[in-house]
Amino acid sequence: MERTFIGDLNQKIGEPALIRGWVSVRRDQGKMIFFDFRDMTGTVQGVVLPKSDAMESAKEARTEYVVAVTGTVNKRPDKNIQADKLNGDIELQIEKIEIINKAETPPFEITGDTSAINEDVRLQYRYLDLRSERMQRNIRMRSEFVQKVRDFLFKQKFTEIETPLLTESTPEGSRDFVVPSRLNPGKFYALPQSPQQYKQLLMVAGFERYFQIARAIRDEDLRADRGFEHTQIDIEMSFVEQEDVMSTVEAMLIEVAESMGRTIKQKPFPRFTYAEAMEKYGADKFDMRTAEEKESGVLAYAWVYKFPFFEKTDEGGWTFTHNPFSMPIPEHIDQLLKKENIGEILTTQYDIVCNGFEAGGGSIRSHDPNILRSVYEIMGYTKEETEERVGHMLEAFKYGTPPHGGLALGVERNLMNLTNETYLREVQAFPMTRGGQTAVMKAPKPLTDRQLKELGIKVDLPPKKHD
RNA sequence: GCGGCCGUAGCUCAACUGGUUAGAGCACUCGCCUGUCACGCGAGAGGUUACCGGUUCAAGUCCGGCCGGCCGCGCCA
């Protein structure tokens, strides 16, 4: 017999069916046993009637055993219908249970919400934690979100392109994760903090509309809403101005959120200048929902734009606030090229805020090498230093670069809003602890002496504290 | 790096101002149970109180150290 998914059983009422999955719950009443079986599509109650041939193996079956169950799909007696549950109106009258694989008793209960369980235990057994209904829902919703984003972007003529993971250290920005090069001893790749430079090069290369579901990796201390790795919907478009990128992304977010059954508080998204946001909310990210809206899962998006381009460093110089590759707003191009009133220059940066999170951000980029040069001059770099850092971009921009701009959306941040989760780890399949230890596997670990030798690396650590 | 909270049974927790043999619920094992759905009832098993040291007649409890987890600050173009 062919397998029927549990979610499709209600189409086979009165017919025989074979399901495969896990024993979720067993309720043994002696002469009669009830089970809840679970597969990726849901759960269903099975019943072993008195004197059934299945009784012997049913007595063996335990929680989380993997089983193949054959039986007849029956409507439940009226008084046993559970209208609010999937398959609450049917049950499988079991004729045979084949135990495919036994299971140890799980270290914690996975039939309920696991959020109250110690997180280090959940992460050690993440593959069990992920069996829980809530985690299944979160991870599936993530897949659905990404699929809908892809669908939208493909309709808009975007091309999905992958950019390298082993790449150059980012000029400025956050701390890099580095990877030693065996072929070039003593030299290191950096993992990308974002595909920023590559996506701009793809605009030079004429793809015009690029996107990537891109991993971004930054070696900064972790938070509830921030991990070493996160995923971005990374977007870049040619022949566009600020308004074009914002309206494209806004249309995408509306289509995706509404097709997932969510309500958006205000359309079109309200816009605040940075100065207005700071005055009204005291922050450049804020939550505009009422208490009831928070309860019902409303999404409150807003744009924040007209950020200062530069801010003072502790040393009294200037550094960029968001992105050195950004254009200033058109009215301030002159000031930037002349390096006048630097603190007042505004950038084309635009951030998308949702329910108190910075859900994404982007800008129009400078396709004119002179503007990028001026930015680096303002930050105090010599011609040679600028050349060293972004010379390859300046070179590329010489060969017919279209005006372009883009944006990156944080997948986890958006999912947190869609799932009402407080922690980024709840929307990642295999997150790490705040101390940087991976789930299930215990990375990071030391290299073997052989590996170290091959890479030309000598480890010299200060002695560890101990009793 | 800094500050805060936490660590007791497989899980969630309790154990008064330090005081008998560290308890409960769930899970687990066994028995009973013909309509349960967090099934029910009964019994049982399960502990180096994270770890190391100190104070004390006596430490899960107080002190010091150390390891681990979480939250925030710094940091995060």
pLDDT digits (tens, 9 = 90+) for A194-249: 999 999 999 999 999 999 999 999 999 999 999 999 999 999 999 999 999 999 99
pTM of the model: 0.95
Question: For chain A, what is the largest distance between any 2 Cα atoms, rounded to a whole number of angstroms?
Answer: 92
What is residue A157's three-state secondary structure? coil
Q: b/e string for A213-236 if b means 16 or more Cβ within 10 A?
A: ebbbbbeeebeebebbebbbbbbb
pLDDT at residue number A464: 56
Q: Are A63 and A106 in contact (CB under 8 A)?
A: yes
CB < 7 A to strand B: residues 360-389, chain A: none
As ranges, strand B nucleotides with an atom below 7 A of a protein CB are 1, 10-13, 26-29, 32-40, 51-53, 64-77
pLDDT at residue number A171: 66
d(CA A156, CA A148): 13
d(CA A285, CA A379): 26
Q: Which of A210, A209, A234, A213 is nearest to A147 (CA)?
A: A213
| A420: CB partners within 8 A, 6+ apart | A297
Q: Which residue stretches of chain A have pLDDT < 50?
A: 465-467
d(CA A432, CA A348): 35
d(CA A276, CA A279): 5
CA A324 to chain CA mean position, Å: 25
A42 touches strand B (CB under 7 A): no
Q: Which of A131, A135, A141 is nearest to A25 (CA)?
A: A131
CA angle A432, A427, A322 (to 5 degrees): 80
d(CA A34, CA A44): 10
* Domains of chain A by residue range: 6-101, 131-427
Beta bridge partners of A66: A22, A101
The integer distance in angstroms from the CA atom of A184 to the C1' atom of B56 is 63
Candidates 1.20.140.70, 3.40.190.10, 1.20.1070.10, 2.40.50.140; CATH matching A6-101: 2.40.50.140
Task: Name the amino acid, one letter, at A174.
Answer: S
CA angle A448, A452, A453 (to 5 degrees): 115
A49 touches strand B (CB under 7 A): yes
Pairing of strands A346-354, A42-48: unpaired
A172 touches strand B (CB under 7 A): yes
Residue A122: nearest nucleotide (C-alpha to C1'): B11
pLDDT at residue number A314: 81
Phi, psi (5° rounding) for residue A38? Answer: -135, 130
A32 touches strand B (CB under 7 A): yes
CB < 7 A to strand B: residues 414-453, chain A: 423, 433-435, 437
Do A131-427 and A6-101 fall under one CATH topology? no
CA distances from A228 to A167, A195, A343 (A): 17, 16, 32
Percent of chain A with pLDDT over 90: 91
The edge-to-edge listing of strands for the beta sheet with A357-364 is A159-160, A209-217, A229-238, A404-410, A357-364, A346-354, A301-308, A271-273
Pairing of strands A271-273, A301-308: parallel
Q: Does domain A131-427 have CATH number 3.30.930.10?
A: yes
Residue A362: nearest nucleotide (C-alpha to C1'): B77
d(CA A17, CA A459): 60
